[in-house]
Amino acid sequence: MSSFFLARISLKRVPVFLNRYYTSGAVGAESLITRLKDDRKTFMKEKKQTELNVVKGLLSDFTYHVKSANFAEGSSEEEALLSVLQKAIKRRQDSISQYESGGRPELAKQESDELKLLQSYLPKQMSPEEIEEELKEVIHEVGATSGRDLGKVMKAWKFDAVRADRKVVSDIAKKLLQ
């Protein structure tokens, strides 16, 4: 009787679908990609259309970036998502300034709301005081003495633009090198 059951069991291949474009490799901590997907579901359920459009647009831009020729196969998808996020933030900032100069405050407010949502996905930013302390160390290491050495200082700056905006770093470095 047991041979009958053994003959009836068939091993079927179970298809496994791996979503290549949204996996991050992060095991312990919640990845940004997972957080965006969860927020997309939440915004759909809560019918928050503006937030949903922002998150869906960001995920769409990310997918397009990963599939494009600009994406290096060895690079991290998490870093690529942060790059796409920064570009989206920069676009919103430019739009806000254009709408304000064009006399369209309602559109500027909409863009600023989207900007706040996008900035909530960025990692913790360095404060100007932290940037200044790190810059003092970099200036000492490089041996910079005047504004002419600004390029050396910026080249030696080791923090990525996600944690410290390059413009803010440059402005503080100019102030310190005077």
pLDDT reported for residue 17:
40
Q: Answer whether 118's CB lies under 8 Å from 162's CB.
A: no
- Domains along the chain with CATH numbers: 31-119 (1.10.1510.10), 128-176 (1.10.10)
Give me the phi and psi of 25, to 5 degrees please. Answer: 90, -10
pLDDT reported for residue 30:
67
Q: Answer whether 50's CB lies under 8 Å from 113's CB.
A: yes
The reported pTM is: 0.66
pLDDT reported for residue 46:
95
pLDDT reported for residue 54:
95
Residues 6+ apart with CB under 8 A from 99: 105, 107, 108, 111
Q: What is the pLDDT along the chain (178 residues), one digit of tens a residue?
A: 555 554 554 444 444 444 444 443 444 346 889 999 999 999 999 999 999 999 999 999 999 988 887 777 767 788 888 889 989 999 999 999 999 999 999 999 999 999 999 999 988 888 888 888 888 888 888 888 888 888 888 888 887 777 787 888 888 888 888 8
pLDDT reported for residue 147:
81
